[in-house]
Structure 1
């Protein structure tokens, strides 16, 4: 078994507990554009980490770099999950190792029902949650299981995207803007599900423009600015620091 190096966090917060998911000195580009500029952070097992920053700060690019997708191109850095070096893997290998990405556009497959979208994710091992377990978490999906996935409401599509990720045997869930366009009552439902997921020991990294909601849910926060980490600490510290929020989050 490959053993992860003992990285420390990039800014002013470091835990004495061993990290479960480590991102160390990641540099990534879109063509000539230098987007992710030496980002580092650690997440511990079962934590919810809010990855925050203004538009263009590099949040989505950092998530995509962690998921090993082809764009942006990662040119330097290391990503470790439970002693496994994701930086040496392709996107599908990282997914098989336990990394689940729910992108902002959700990627619901047109022409397939809710149930077919879920079953498709289970074609190749490792298999995670059963369909019934997903339906227990999101009862609305069971009601809509024979409906074409792309015809669901925005909130139901988000539930489907998260449920589809859970049908894989994931260890870390990467969520990109899960609250976007959703009514507050639907955001409540998504957060209730994320709390249940946390109770099961699944680690979550959450990118969200609704920073206050994300911080109220999260254990810790990392703030990015122009592609680099400017804060790494507890979510409570951000909520209590008006100057930090105003400077980097405009709230």
Structure 2
């Protein structure tokens, strides 16, 4: 099993010995991993392994409470920032519930994300990647299908100047054909040099897309290495992913 060895100098994105709690519950227990620019990393594990909690700790949401550790993005210490400052530094979180704003159209959701600098992709760029959103740009965002709402949530993150995209369960509840469409979109985003971390219960789909994988078990890293190696290791998948 691959062991995680951190370099002396943080990589493009580096999570270093993060510890976090919900109240007295010790959820994230010294998680560390690194990602190179433009890579996709699948953050995997069984239910309750600490995947979403780790993602929320990285995003500086305030819950869980981070008590120790460092998070670096392109030389910036995110661990020393509030969540809005981390967002300005290039961190984009797409939460599991997508949080499409009720009462606003697709285009209004996107324009709202662009109100404050730094602005990222233009509407033209977003609509080129998501033609379905252009077709529905005047439709209220919460009335879109599940797959379209996921596209809008990702597009809204891109409307900011994002360097790393954190995706929590982007495939949840989606038909296989829509999962494939979202995967193609994420591959295109990778080609633009954007780094991505995906938390996903559909481990096989995430592994097929990712360059690397980190597997968590009870809040600790038990594997850090090639995504393809996980697909090829039946024993590892059965033990930690139940697939």
TM range (shorter): over 0.9
1:21 and 1:94 map into 2 onto residues whose CA distance is: 13
Distance 1:242 1:193 in 2: 28
Q: What is the alpha-carbon distance in structure 2 between the residues aligned to residue 32 and residue 23 of structure 1? A: 22
Q: List runs of 5+ in structure 1 lacking aligned partners.
A: 1-10
Mapping 1:3-152, distance limit 5 Å: 12=3, 19-152=11-144
SS in 2 for 1:239: helix
- Give the match's secondary structure for 1:37: strand
Provide Cα deviations, 1:117-160, integer angstroms capped at 9, x if missing partner. Answer: 00000010000000111111010000110000000000000000
Tell me if structure 2 keeps the 8 A contact 1:51–1:224: yes
Distance 2:205 2:181 in 1: 13
Distance 1:27 1:15, change over 3 A: closer
Equivalent residues of 1:18, 1:44 under 8 A apart:
no
Identify the match of residue 224 of structure 2 among 209, 232, 235: 232
Aligned equivalents of 1:236, 1:141: Cα separation in 2 = 32
Aligned match for 2:185, one of 184, 193, 197: 193
**TM-score of the aligned structures, taking structure 1 as reference length:** 0.94
SS at 1:179 equivalent = coil
Q: For 1:156 and 1:42, locate their aligned partners in 2 and report how far apart those are by CA, in whole Å.
A: 31
Identify unmatched segments of 5+ residues in structure 2: none
Q: Post-superposition shift, 1:184?
A: 0.7
Per mean C-alpha deviation after superposition, the further-off stretch among 213-222 and 15-24 is 15-24
TM-score by length of 2: 0.97
- What secondary structure sits across from 1:25 in the alignment? strand
Contact 2:6 2:33 survives alignment (8 Å): no
* Structure 1 moving runs of 4+ over 4 Å: 13-18
Q: CA deviation at 1:70?
A: 1.2
What is residue 203 of structure 2 aligned with on the other side?
211
Which string of whole-angstrom CA distances, capped at 9 and with x for unpartnered residues, describes residues 13-70 of structure 1? 5598962100000000111111000000001000000000000000001011101001
For each residue in 1:183-215, what CA deviation from the matched residue of structure 2 results, as whole angstroms up to 9, or x when unmatched? Answer: 011111101110100001000000000000100
Secondary structure in structure 1 of the residue aligned to 2:160? coil
Maintained 8 Å contact 2:4/2:32: no
Aligned to 2:145: 153
